[in-house]
Structure 1
Amino acid sequence: MARFVRWAALGATAALLVSGCDDSSGDAQSGKNGDSSPSSNSSLASQKLDWGRCEATDEASAPGGEWQCATLKVPLDWDKPEGETIGVALIRAEATGDDRIGSLLFNFGGPGGSGVSMMPSYASTVSTLHERYDLVSFDPRGVAASEGVRCRDDEEIQAAEAKVDATPDTAAEEKAYFQDAADFGKGCQKAAGKLLPHVSTTDTARDMDLMRQVLGDEKLHYFGISYGTELGGVYAHLFPEKVGRMILDAVVDPSADTVGHAKNQALGFQRALNDYLESTGQDPAEGTRKIADLLDRIDAEPLPTSAPDRKLTQTLAVTGIVLPLYSKDGWPALTSALEAAEEGDGSELLALADGYNERDASGNYGTTTHSQRVISCLDDRQRPTPAQTKALLPEFEKISPVFGAFLGWDTAGWCHDWPVAGQHDTPEVSAPGAPPILTVGNTGDPATPVEGARRMADELGKDVGVVLTWNGEGHGAYGSGSDCVDSAVDTYLLDGTPPKDGTVCS
């Protein structure tokens, strides 16, 4: 089961509903700030992009013109900037007005989400910004059209979904769980080859600075969502003097290590579940117990579904519950799916899980979770052992009887026996000298709890981090129904004036 930080999950939801930092890892994130970046000295900075009509997106047109796509050449290894190159896929729609500010670069999260496929569907949300900015996004290295990694085929994925229990209860299940994790890592190593050690967030941040130069922008104007906030923070640390206007929405807590991040998510998803249960007139504690009991029964006996030869396992059931919590619009679908499951039909929860896992009606799976894993396991140095994880399970289950065990086991299983060492315990995002960076938190955010916005602001540094909070629901605040949030973000990006630190939108 994939880690839950994924902005891309929102796209799946919409489609379904219509139908303290440690940088002791050496130079992984240090010593290459501003113009001292290798990209500034590389001949790659003078390359010309060959923009043409996009073939990879179903939406070839955008307000004011067509989407254009191009490929940026970047070094495979940033320690050898004049060496072998790889391609990073870009998409843009040029500003619709005359008073152009520059490019506004988007990362929609994951890690592993495709900006090339997401940008056209997000354009209507940022139509006001589009008047003065070229809307630009990209597939980070190791993702989709940018040397995207597929670690196992569709048949292997479906087999693992049916057989592997993400919360093992017996020695045999535990052995199978960790063996599957090791096998997945081997598949990634075989698929990615020499790329595997070069898909870190730091590598992508350096790609972004090269992107800035090739696009002709003196400063990087950036809109990062979910994991994109961590990427933005890392960029700000590496290139504080090159930061322009930067928005970080649905903020990942940069002070949290592997276990801390999992605890944050257990807390966030339980909060969102509580809010959902209250909206249906249920006591959150009683509703949570009822769902936990349902999951226990499914663990003992998977539910039949309308899909041929597929049953709803406990792992798939939890994934199906997770997806609609990303957006309040998904809550009615969750109600219907839980009611059907209580009646013995797992079809609706399975459909929700398939939406999260990017499985289409033909049984083909997307590769977002593959890229997510190769990036996060290269970033994260911590590798909790099975024994350490089991000792922590009571604490996780106390935080969330529904999600705690899954996220607890994930701390040991996600990067188990990974073929490449991780780079750091927590990302370095301090950015002394950078202009104000706006961090936006949402009190009902399930995947990136609201506390992350303040912690990111604190880590960015005094006079840099500015916090805006929305008392709302769903993953991400901008474009989610708050005129207060949208106005504050638009004003900052268009006029350069951030809101007062600590501003709260009701």
Structure 2
Amino acid sequence: MNGRSPLVVLGALGGTALFLTALPACTASDTASKEERPELARFYQQKLTWSGCEGDDRLEGMECAKLTVPVDYTDPKSGTIAVAVGRYRSTAGPNAAAAPSGSAPPSGSTARIGSLVFNFGGPGMSGLTGLADAREDYRALRAHYDLVSFDPRGVGRSAPVKCGTALDGGEDDTDQGDELPTDAAGRAALVKELTSIAAQCAAGTGKVLPFVGTVNTSRDMDVLRQALGDDKLHYFGTSYGTRLGAVYAKQFPDRAGRLALDAVDTLTENSRASALTQARAFQKALESFVDDCAGQGEKCPIGATEAAAVRTVDETVARITEAPVESADGSPFTVRDLRTAISNSLYSAELHPTLAEGIARLHDSEDPAVLVEINRAFAGEDEEGNRDEADNSDEAILAINCADDPDRPADPAAEIASLEEEFTEASSVFGTEMAREAVSCTGWPAGSDYIRKIEDTGGPKVLLIGTKGDPATPYQWTGETAKRLGNAVVLTYEGEGHGAYSASTCVRAKTDAYLIEGKLPADGTSCPAEAPEADARDADDAG
């Protein structure tokens, strides 16, 4: 799957029986009926009550509401949960003339189209926080839409998955924590560890856990569409959000409006296959970063030639593997931290100069400060290392990915034994970390197979945006998903990084034209790579 599963340590609970009792196999209704069942009417008839968002300064200026949805769509009387929803009203204003239903506003018009619902990925990322952080990127769209997002079920403020301390790094959280065991005893211990984590998640989350997953979240999104007063869902999904968008397109083809999916996730690969694909893609992205830096000659902090830059990276990884260094707060900076900083930075070409500086400082003076700050920023931590209390992204990514994956190895220990050579060959830097992702669902019941069966969705055409150098959702997944959907138009960005809308003015213009005016680019349209804004400013200054 597109998000990295958390690296895990042995939890306190153990035993498969406890987990399988608490978390039965997925029983969610996979396909929405053409006419909603009468027992769902109360959910579809609800009205949202908007007010200011309380308890989080980052949400200042956003309006918040709660959407009530059933825990189990096959048995709506069994209980409900509240889904946290946030919006920024369209700058067109509440009294702006609305575009006719199903039509695009004229070019240059200020007509309000409706709501545009976002999912920013993960899975497990808070939609409210994501929207607050990214709203400036969508100013052109806000002129025609209310910008809306939500914390999906199991995430953040919406019946969050809770795993206790199962995913926390403890005192033994060393640099060797993500290495694969090399003997039978070690593999048996890892199987017990992973099963224990699954049990803790079941015990901590309760009855909601079997119904956390994309199939049910898509149904929640349709209830949200109705509560927003829209006949059609207009949607922008990034990364994991493309998986959610694809499921919606299949479940509700008659209710799908304009769907834009950027950084396209796989619909077909299981945990092992997707982790292996990502390992290769991250390795390729790292090599591209090294080549680009070395191409700057003496300006490259890690080496003026490709050979020198490669040597700096390899030596740094080897040294930190052998002996972690001390961070400013006295905590160890391990090879796991180094890998995380590198992979985080490969998500955006804008971070490449910072990554080069961080590796050089670590290599030359054993100073990890720059890399520590990269990791803190990605984790949403403050200077003391504290995270948002509502952030359960580590738990949610594990639960949702496992709910969406029907495959489980018959012999987990044997599966672990088969991983190391293949993954290390795929990536000398990221291979072992990705290999642990491949078995992260050990101990969890088999998930839904609905996503694997998506094919020929019908409905309106969907815009898929793929980036050639994307390490997290490799470009090949864009073409594969287009074939599965059967009604997709592919827009390619020739650059690097994860997600193209914020990286490319060309992609942004074509996506906005589709979402605002309904004008799709020709299938196969390509946008050239663009220098990050900071690089472009530096070039202008030099000129």
**TM bucket normalised to smaller:** 0.7 to 0.9
1:108 is matched with which residue? 120
Tell me by how many angstroms 1:164 deviates: 6.1
Equivalent position of 1:78 in the other structure: 73
2:283 alignment partner in structure 1: 270
Quick check: 2:3–2:122 contact (8 Å CA) kept in 1? Answer: no
Q: Aligned to 1:187, which of 200, 209, 221?
A: 200
Is 2:94 aligned against 1:91? no
SS at match of 1:42: helix
Aligned residue for 2:458?
A: 433
Q: Which residue pairs with 1:22 in the alignment?
A: none
Distance 2:386 2:160 in 1: 16
Return closer, same or farther for 1:401/1:254 CA change in 2, 3 Å cut-off: same
| Superposed CA offset, 1:136-157 (max 9, x none) | 0000001111012232349943
Output one character per residue of 1:199-241: Cα deviation in whole Å (capped at 9) or x when no partner.
1110100000111111111111000000000000011111111
CA RMSD of aligned residues (A): 2.7
* 2:435 pairs with one of 390, 396, 408: 408
Secondary structure of the 2:407 match is coil
Confirm whether residue 252 of structure 1 aligns to residue 247 of structure 2: no
Structure 1 match to 2:53: 54
Shift of 1:87: 0.3
Contact 1:38/1:78 (CA < 8 Å) preserved in 2?
no
Counterpart in the other structure of 2:335? 314
Summarize the alignment of residues 106-505 of structure 1 with structure 2, pairs less than 5 Å apart.
Answer: 106-153=118-165, 156-159=168-171, 161-162=173-174, 165-171=177-183, 174=187, 177-281=190-294, 287=309, 291-308=313-330, 310-343=331-364, 344-365=366-387, 366-384=391-409, 385-412=412-439, 414-418=440-444, 420-424=445-449, 427-461=452-486, 464-480=487-503, 482-505=504-527
User: How big is the shift at 1:58?
Assistant: 2.1
**Alpha carbons of structure 1 residues 177 and 302: separation in structure 2 relative to 1, 3 Å:** farther
CA distance in 1, matches of 2:3, 2:31: 31
Displacement of 1:329 in angstroms is 1.5
Q: Shift of residue 56 of structure 1?
A: 4.2
Alpha carbons 2:181, 2:190 under 8 Å: kept: no
- Contact (CA 8 Å) 2:489, 2:524: kept in 1 or not? yes
Identify the residue that residue 36 of structure 1 maps to in structure 2. 35
Query: Could you list the per-position Cα deviations for residues 226-283 of structure 1 after superposition, in whole angstroms to 9, with x for gaps in the alignment?
Result: 0000000011111111110000000012122222211221122122212211121167
Larger Rg: 2
Structure 1 range deviating more: 271-280 or 175-184: 175-184
> Which is worse superposed, 371-380 or 200-209?
371-380
Relative to 1, partners in 2 of residues 1:245 and 1:187: Cα closer, same or farther, differing over 3 Å?
A: same
Q: Is the CA contact 1:274–1:284 (under 8 Å) kept in the aligned structure 2?
A: no
- What amino acid is the match of 2:90? A
**2-side partners of 1:155 and 1:26: how far apart?**
23
Cα distance change of structure 1 residues 231 and 469 upon mapping to structure 2, 3 Å threshold: same
**What amino acid is aligned across from residue 70 of structure 2 in structure 1?**
P
**Other structure's SS at 1:91 match:** strand
CA deviation string 1:435-475 (max 9, x = no partner): 010000011211111122111111101xx111000111211
| Cα 1:386–1:353 shift into 2, 3 Å | farther
Report the CA distance between 1:396 and its aligned residue.
Answer: 2.0
Q: Which amino acid aligns with 2:406?
A: R
Q: Shift in Å at residue 433 of structure 1? A: 2.3
Residue pair 1:228, 1:248 contacting (<8 A) in 2 also = yes
Q: Which amino acid aligns with 1:434?
A: G
Q: Deviations over 1:17-63 (max 9, x none)?
A: xxxxxxxx998564424x334589421111111100111442455xx
Between the aligned partners of 2:167 and 2:421, the Cα distance in structure 1 is 34
8 Å CA contact retained: 2:27, 2:210: no
Amino acid at match of 2:424: E
For the structure 1 residues 265 and 381, does the alpha-carbon distance in structure 2 shift closer, same or farther, using more than 3 Å as the test?
same
- The separation in 2 between residues aligned to 1:40 and 1:459, in whole angstroms, is 32
Q: Which sections of structure 1, spanning at least 5 residues, go unmatched?
A: 7-24
Instruction: Provide the C-alpha distance between the structure 1 equivalents of 2:115 and 2:172, rounded to a whole number of angstroms.
Output: 42
The whole-number CA distance in structure 1 between the counterparts of 2:347 and 2:500 is 11
Q: Cα deviations across residues 80-134 of structure 1 (Å, max 9, x unaligned)?
A: 1243110000001122212111110000000000011111221111111111111
- 3-state SS in 1 of match to 2:515: helix
- How far did residue 389 of structure 1 move? 3.5
> Using a 3 Å threshold, how does the CA distance of structure 1 residues 430 and 3 change in structure 2: closer, same or farther?
same
Most deviating of 437-446 and 271-280 = 271-280
The one-letter code matched in structure 2 to 1:50 is T
Letter aligned with residue 306 of structure 1: A
In structure 2, the CA distance between the partners of 1:200 and 1:38, relative to structure 1 (3 Å rule), is farther
- Please list every run of 5 or more consecutive structure 2 residues that lacks an aligned counterpart in the other structure: 7-24, 97-110, 295-302, 529-543
Q: Give the drift of 1:297.
A: 3.4
Deviation at 1:186, TM superposition (A): 2.4
In 1, the alpha carbon distance for the partners of 2:415 and 2:307 equals 28
TM-score, normalisation: structure 1: 0.87
Which amino acid in structure 2 is aligned with residue 94 of structure 1? R
Conserved in 1, the CA contact under 8 Å of 2:342 and 2:355?
A: yes
Would the aligned equivalents of 2:188 and 2:413 in 1 still touch at CA under 8 Å?
no
* Change beyond 3 A, Cα 1:347–1:59: closer
Mapped to 2, the partners of 1:182 and 1:354 lie a distance apart of 29
What is the SS of the residue equivalent to 1:280? helix
Deviation at 1:175, TM superposition (A): 5.5
Is contact 2:51-2:65 (8 Å) kept?
A: yes
Q: What SS does the aligned partner of 1:125 have?
A: helix
